[in-house]
């Protein structure tokens, strides 16, 4: 017997539907933050000494800094910039993971040994240390920090993709393709890549929280983005000298907003992983 529309609406959402709604809601919030930061007029962060060092108020929700710049506008612009850097670095890192994972699983024992050695090598060095060295070697700035993130955050995802591809290559349809004379490149393109795209997507979202926090840390230390950029790391670094005189809002609101954005991306990644996992998808 078919249910009416009212009865369907009254039915409680299952876990898959709730997870999908959470992903959509969080994604909308992140998009709004990014677009707002991009579309804000730069005059909103212009110097205005008449209102400098003002605490949070209705006119300036996050207060103003020592130059009278609106901290709410600076925080939104900084979040947009940090999200752009983090996503660019995470996508680059995931691309490296896919390439090396496929090479290790499909190009023979020698290639597998080399990639495994590289994974162990990079995992043995703390991300932040290698990120600082790489960013410094490439001259810092946007290019240096993005390359540093991309070249340091790939090992864990590469190990996951390698194991996934090794499982796929032992399946019957892959063996049939080999017996039919299909090339290694054709098998990789038609059988391997479609299988690992979901893992790559989730990997990007789970890499992003690490990428944006490490970007903020390196920028805070003065080795990342330029001081002229309104990045969260720059804002937090500049605020340190004013905390002792009671200007707590300079670090509190940008720091809370950064943690909020990182937590949202982490939640989106976890929810997408649950949707992809066949053990949780239909509960």
Reading the block at residue 106, the tokens are: 């499909």
Domain span at residue 155 reads: 22-31+71-276
Is 212 part of a structural domain of the chain? yes
pLDDT at 2 over 80: no
Is 170 part of a structural domain of the chain? yes
Quote the percentage of the chain above a pLDDT of 90. Answer: 0
Is 16 part of a structural domain of the chain? no
| Number of structural domains in the chain | 1
Is 3 part of a structural domain of the chain? no
Reading the block at residue 154, the tokens are: 């790939």
Is 229 part of a structural domain of the chain? yes
pLDDT at 250 over 80: yes
pLDDT at 281 over 50: no
Residue with tokens 């949780």: 280
Any idea what the CATH number is for the domain that residue 85 is in? 1.10.3720.10
Is 47 part of a structural domain of the chain? no
Q: Please list the residues that pair with 70 across neighbouring strands.
A: 64
pLDDT digits (tens, 9 = 90+) for 53-112: 888 888 888 888 888 888 888 888 888 888 888 888 888 888 898 888 888 877 878 888
Is 268 part of a structural domain of the chain? yes
**pLDDT at position 1:** 43
Residue 177 vs residue 154, higher pLDDT: 154
Is 63 part of a structural domain of the chain? no
């Amino acid at each position: 017997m078919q249910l009416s529309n009212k009865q369907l609406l009254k039915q409680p959402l299952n876990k898959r539907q709730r997870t999908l709604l959470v992903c959509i809601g969080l994604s909308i919030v992140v998009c709004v933050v990014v677009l707002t930061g991009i579309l804000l007029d730069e005059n909103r962060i212009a110097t205005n000494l008449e209102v400098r060092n003002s605490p949070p108020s209705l006119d300036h929700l996050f207060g103003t800094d020592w130059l009278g710049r609106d901290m709410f506008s600076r925080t939104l612009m900084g979040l947009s910039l940090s999200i752009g850097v983090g996503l660019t670095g995470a996508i680059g890192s995931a691309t490296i993971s896919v390439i090396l994972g496929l090479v290790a699983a499909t190009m023979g024992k020698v290639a597998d040994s080399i990639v495994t050695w590289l994974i162990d090598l990079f995992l043995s060095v703390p991300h932040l240390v290698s990120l600082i060295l790489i960013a410094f070697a490439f001259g810092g700035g946007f290019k240096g920090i993005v390359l540093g993130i991309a070249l340091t955050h790939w090992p864990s995802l590469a190990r996951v993709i390698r194991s996934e591809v090794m499982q796929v290559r032992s399946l019957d349809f892959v063996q049939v393709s080999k017996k039919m004379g299909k090339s290694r490149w054709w098998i990789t393109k038609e059988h391997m890549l479609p299988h690992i795209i979901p893992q790559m997507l989730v990997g990007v979202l789970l890499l992003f929280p690490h990428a944006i926090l490490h970007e903020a840390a390196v920028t805070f230390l003065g080795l990342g983005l330029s001081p002229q950029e309104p990045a969260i790391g720059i804002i937090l670094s500049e605020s340190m000298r004013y905390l002792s005189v009671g200007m707590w809002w300079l670090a509190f609101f940008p720091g809370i907003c950064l943690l909020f954005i990182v937590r949202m991306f982490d939640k989106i990644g976890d929810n997408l992983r649950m949707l992809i996992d066949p053990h949780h998808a239909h509960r």
